[in-house]
Amino acid sequence: MPHPPHQSLQAAAVQSLQTRPAAVPKPRVADREEDGPWHAEAVCRRDEAGLFFAPSKEPTAARLAREEAAKRVCARCPVMVACREHALLQPEPYGVWGGLTAAERRVVLGRRRRRAAELLPGAAASGPVAAAG
């Protein structure tokens, strides 16, 4: 059903979520135009979202096995790099995106911040202690 032109996109999204049947799993990747067309080709759109996101109080062994299974799906995905960049730019705080867990993405973001700091003028003058991060 089309929304009135005066209704905001956010209100339309909330209304859409409220009318969605509870049995339908949450989509893995949002269907927003600003996300770009890469998500239409994502292999994970055909998989259960539970593979990519942890249930509450998941045991460590089960989490590691689930994450490895999700990474195998990502490894065969033609848009893995675009998905990963999306998750790093957002940043997505949960789940496996682009073959990386949330913890692995935090490491990548930390490395990127350190590299960016090293490229700033004056960073070389502050010595190796600052570069060690």
Cis peptide before 27 (omega within 30 of 0): no
Q: Which residues neighbour 112 within 8 Å (Cβ) at sequence distance 6 or greater?
A: 88
Q: Please provide the distance, in angstroms rounded to a whole number, between the alpha carbons at the two ends of the chain.
A: 53
Is residue 97's pLDDT more than 90? yes
Under the phi-then-psi rule, with left for phi > 0, alpha for psi from -120 to 50, and beta for the rest, what region is 57? left
What is the number of other CB atoms lying within 10 angstroms of the CB of residue 95? 19
- For residue 43, the Cα-to-chain-centroid distance in whole angstroms is 14
- What is the pTM (predicted TM-score) of this model? 0.62
Under the phi-then-psi rule, with left for phi > 0, alpha for psi from -120 to 50, and beta for the rest, what region is 46? alpha
pLDDT at residue 69, as a whole number: 95
pLDDT at residue 88, as a whole number: 94
Joined tokens for residue 56: 């509450």
- Alpha-carbon distance of 74 to 78, in angstroms, equals 8
- Alpha-carbon distance of 113 to 123, in angstroms, equals 13
Is residue 81's pLDDT more than 80? yes
Query: pLDDT tens for residues 22-79?
Result: 333 344 444 444 555 788 889 888 877 789 998 889 999 999 999 999 999 999 999 9
Longest dimension (CA), the chain: 61
Average pLDDT score over the chain: 73
